[in-house]
Chain A
């Protein structure tokens, strides 16, 4: 076709991918194309968010549990507080922290650390308590000091319970961290929220980011099961 000004030039935007434009069930091409600029950075951020939260949460929970184990009394109140804290919806907790720490990664981490603390503390305390009385008696009879009993008897025996707590904490944190994208462009929740912003959400983006989150959780869970088998081979082969 020709007009007075010459041929009509239709700009070439590249070959439209039928799968992407038609929003088919799953487009591997899109995943390959956007792995580097969308999915991989989101996955790395997600791992960072989780690692920081579990690291800080575990340190705090461990320290508190040692205090609770030594002095007893604070355990029951902390358990009640933690059960109630866990009823706070993540979306609400993120929002409640904004007046204090703003729309920052700190806000996300404070919320995530609170949840890990709530999960880990009861588990570590239960683990430290799990040493049978006759075992402690034998240790005392052998002349071990209180500190030696903690380090050589109670802590090793607590490993299965501690790792059990870590499994729940890591997997829950990975799950809750997807909601963190509501506050900013963090982690695997971000591609999902962006897809949902569209009136017809792009399925591949939701499925691929979602699958990565689930896969990350399952891999971490399996890794912790392995860790327990290495650290506490006596603790049986039960999976859960």
Chain B
């Protein structure tokens, strides 16, 4: 629970002053948050990505993919972190696991969908050319699935980085440490750290959009990357 503190627009000036006065401290906290997010995303990728790709390749288990997206959305991050805290205790591991679960939903759903919806004709043609299942997956399905697959990874990454401040309530460290500790850092510090979190997640978003554009094969570059994934056709 945070303290009521008289606040006005000057608090924002103080918040920027806080950032200016403590660049090293904030950078350390931001790095902690990136480490936690990276570890969680790594686990999520390691578990959910192969699973989704294989299911998509086999065109099986759409129920699992759809179900995991529904349940994944329905699980509030706070509930996940609090629930894992009771099992794994306060600290890095608990938050890493909770955030990894959070990341797995969009990764699994999008990787399944991306590979599953590769046009059957193209796969048929590849098979006719004598490609094996693994070759079809590596040379045909994955390149074509890349944009949508990466969208899932981007959603997961931004979700994890943006959720990581909540981890501070369970000893996860990072910029959230400042946000949940208004008693020590005053509202100015809390706002300063909040601004840093916004900049951090926006930077991750922009970096991943750039990476996605760079990784997408030229022939597949039909859709504009960076748009909200609404299944909308390019204009």
Contact = CB atoms under 8 A, between A and B. Distances in A.
Size class of the contact patch on chain A: 35 or more
B1 A193 contact: yes
A172 B78 contact: no
B76 A96 contact: no
B85 A210 contact: no
B222 interface: no
A167 to B, nearest CB: 8
A79 B226 CA distance: 9
B8 A99 contact: yes
A182 B165 contact: no
Contacts of B169: 193, 196
Interface in B177-219: 179-180, 187, 190-191, 193-195, 197-198, 201-202, 204-205
Interface in B105-158: 109, 158
Contacts of B158: 86-87
Contact of B201 (A87, A122, A168, A172): A87
Contacts, number: 161
A175 interface: yes
A206 B83 contact: yes
B70 A189 contact: no
B228 to A, nearest CB: 4
The 5 closest A-B pairs by CB, nearest first: A92-B194, A210-B79, A217-B74, A175-B76, A89-B162
Given A83-B228, A176-B76, A203-B86, 17 more contacts: A89-B164, A91-B194, A91-B197, A93-B194, A95-B190, A96-B195, A98-B187, A122-B228, A161-B230, A179-B78, A182-B180, A195-B82, A196-B169, A197-B1, A217-B74, A221-B74, A239-B70
Interface of A: 79-80, 82-84, 86-93, 95-96, 98-99, 102-103, 122-123, 125-126, 129, 161, 165, 168, 171-172, 174-176, 178-179, 182-184, 189, 192-193, 195-197, 201, 203, 206-207, 209-210, 213-214, 217-218, 221, 238-240
